[in-house]
Structure formats: structure tokens, C-alpha cells
Amino acid sequence: EGTRRLPGGSGASHPHSAAQTPLPLTFFDIFWLRFPPLLPLFFYESPHPKATLLDTLLPKLKHSLSFTLQHYLPLAGNLTWPPDSPKPIIQYNEGDAVSLTIAESEANFYHLSGNGFREAERFHHLVPCLRASETRAPVMALQVTLFPNAGFSVGIAAHHAVTVVSDPSDQIEKAYLNGWLAHNGPNNRSLEIWDLKAPPDVMFGTFQMTQANMESIKKWVKAKLQEKHKENKPAALHQSTFVTASAYTWVCLIKTRKLPTEKVQLAISVDCRARLEPPVPSTYFGNCITGCIVHADTDELMGEDGVAVAVRAIGEAIGRLDDGVLKGAEGLITNLLSPRKKEGCSVSRARLGLSSTKLISGGGDRGRWRWYKLRKVELSPFRIPEMEMVGLRLG
């Protein structure tokens, strides 16, 4: 079940020459400076032979990528940190290109794109590698892997640090820069990426939670909270589908791991776009997230009403963001670079990913893409993070 490279890859570039284009990072980017890249993996059904896929699929993908780079030129550039620059920049030079790898796999396409338990190491060869050094890191790389007579996958490796949102006070940006410079420093300007690859014996699975599941859990939680606050009317609670799903998954994770610690924390990535003043459009392309830390007692989460306790804790933490989504953001980098497990406390991390079937699938142009049905989207199924949630409707 090996994967081998095929001819036809290389680099996809902007079709017209462009001048040297530097783009400085902002505080939203700098926080993710040495984080592993985002690694979304898309599986498409297309029961056609290898020759058909090579002759029809690849030319369309290359054309689409080249066309896209006309509008998102920095994606073909590299992240650098010049000695005379106070912060890292994305540098595009004429001739820069996005690395594109074409490969063929003998693995079982339907097993890899299914919902059962799968070995993490079997996905390593389906995504490209961002070959970062201390002085240079590509912004993006792509890999198309063919599964003849079954389908193909598109793996994307995108550096976490790409955006253009400004920090009105510069205080958050300074805190993040100082944090990275001091980490393993002093004056550590390394752009090498952390390796958080899961060990080879790790298994992962996909669990689907339907709208009916969510509504049932929401009703149960509401009843439990009303019962617990019979005498006093409970305060308004932020109980979205994300909060409910996060709470349920968090409790399951804690019960499975049987944590010995008295306290637990849940770190959630928060979308800042609609919470900034002025708000950032929903179509914004780039980093615009911050962190939200939820605290809870382990015993309470493991109790009979654990999910209800988790919903209230997460809902209250998210509700406090109304006081300012960036309030206290200066301290996030310090918490990040401190030891991951503090005495008597264990930290879990959750991330909500919203994926669109229009990405790469051709959008509304169903004629050109009629052979390619999006079957599955995976978010970094080969990394250490313990749980990730994807909101996606297929079909």
C-alpha cells in the first residue's frame, strides 16, 4: 500500500511576472509563527483509470491553481525574517511558485476516506511537506494523490502565518514577538516549524454528530441546568451547536483518559472576524482567531451531569468575549510557551474547522467537475491535537 511520486509535478506560479512583493506579518500571524502548518486533506470520488485522471484532472487543477495565484500572490512566496526587519515578512520574488507534488497510492481509498479507525501514519504520504529552515519557510505546498479506479486526494500544507489584519495598539504584536525571540533565545529568529506528528501507533476515528443528536443533547442540558437552578433563574447561556458538541466531546475525552488531575482546561480557537471593531468581512482570507481558555473541575465533568457542567463552563467563557475578544491576548503567547501541563491541571485543545465543498471542487461550475464528488475532509488526522470538529455538509 505504498505511495510513489509521478512525473508532472513541480511548481505552479503566477502566469505573469510580478515585482518583488513583501508583506509584513501581524499579531494574528505571529502567534502561529512556529506552529505546524494547516493540513486539510480532501478525498474525491472519481472511479476512473489512472490515464483519465492524468489527462483530465491534473490540467484542470494546475490551471485553477495558476489562476488563483493571480489573486493570492503571497501564497507562492516564502516566510523570512531579515536581520534588519523587526518582524517576519512574507516575501514574493518573481519566479516563486507553489510546490505541487503528483503521486499515486495503492492504499484502499474507501478505507482511508471512511469513518472507521485508521492508523495515523498511513496519511503521512498524502500531504506535502513544508520544508522550512531557520531562515526560510514556504507559505504553501500542494499534493494530488491518485487512487486509480476509485478517486484522488488533494493535500494542502499551509503555513499558519498568512494574513493582513492590523493591531491598533501594537501591544499584542510586541508581546508575541518578544515571546518568540526569547523562546530558546535570546534573539531567536528561527522559522523552523514544531514537529507535532503523531507517533506511528496512534489510531484515529471519525464520529458523526447529526442535528438530531445535537438537539437531543441541548434539550437534556437545558433540563439539567433548570433542575440545578430551581430556586434561582439561571443566567442566559450561550448554547450553540459548537458549544454543545465541544462539551460532549470534552467530557468523553476526559472520561476516556481517566485524568488524575483536579483541574482541566480546554483551549478553543475563536473566530474574531465579527467580534472586531470594525468587523472583518466573513469572506476574509487569513488568520483572524484568538484563544479562549475554559476551566473546570475534573470530578464535576466526570459526574452524571458532566456535559451540562461543560456546556455552562464553555458558554460562560465564550460569553466573556463580549467584553473584548482581544482582552488579555497579550498573555496568550506566555501561556503557550510555558510547560504544557501545570501542576494539578491538564490541558485539552479543541478547534472548530468550517470547510466548504466549493474549495477545490469547482464551486458552482458543476459541469467541469461532474466526475469529482467530495467524499471526506480530514483536518490534520496525523497530528497530536486530541479532537477537532469539522462542520461540513456533503452531497
Q: How high is the pLDDT of residue 179? A: 81
Contacts of 276 (CB under 8 A, 6+ apart): 165, 288, 325, 326
Do 350 and 264 fall into the same domain? yes
Instruction: Tell the residue number behind the cell numbers 486530541, with chain if given.
Output: 386
Q: What cell numbers appear for 211 in the block?
A: 442535528
Do 64 and 170 fall into the same domain? yes
Do 245 and 166 fall into the same domain? no
Global pTM reads 0.78
* Virtual torsion, Cα 30, 38, 281, 211, nearest 10 deg: -140
Q: How high is the pLDDT of residue 107? A: 92
> What is the H or E stretch that residue 21 is in?
strand 21-24
Do 178 and 214 fall into the same domain? no
For the chain, how many structural domains are there in total? Answer: 2
On whether residue 369 sits in a domain, the answer given is no
Do 139 and 173 fall into the same domain? yes
On whether residue 170 sits in a domain, the answer given is yes
Which residue numbers in the chain have pLDDT < 50? 163-169, 340-344, 349-370, 393-395
Helix axes 241-257, 211-228, angle to 10 degrees: 80
Do 127 and 212 fall into the same domain? no
The domain of 219 spans 207-336+346-359
Q: How high is the pLDDT of residue 363? A: 41
On whether residue 219 sits in a domain, the answer given is yes
Do 177 and 29 fall into the same domain? yes
Do 119 and 83 fall into the same domain? yes
Q: How high is the pLDDT of residue 284? A: 74
Do 165 and 235 fall into the same domain? no
CATH of the domain at 39: 3.30.559.10
Do 161 and 27 fall into the same domain? yes
On whether residue 9 sits in a domain, the answer given is no
Q: How high is the pLDDT of residue 322? A: 80
On whether residue 16 sits in a domain, the answer given is no
Q: How high is the pLDDT of residue 103? A: 93
Do 106 and 212 fall into the same domain? no
Do 233 and 270 fall into the same domain? yes
On whether residue 190 sits in a domain, the answer given is no
Q: How high is the pLDDT of residue 117? A: 86
On whether residue 303 sits in a domain, the answer given is yes
Q: How high is the pLDDT of residue 26? A: 77
On whether residue 372 sits in a domain, the answer given is no
CB atoms closer than 10 angstroms to residue 105: 21
What strands, in cross-sheet order, belong to the sheet with 21-24?
21-24, 89-92, 78-80, 137-138
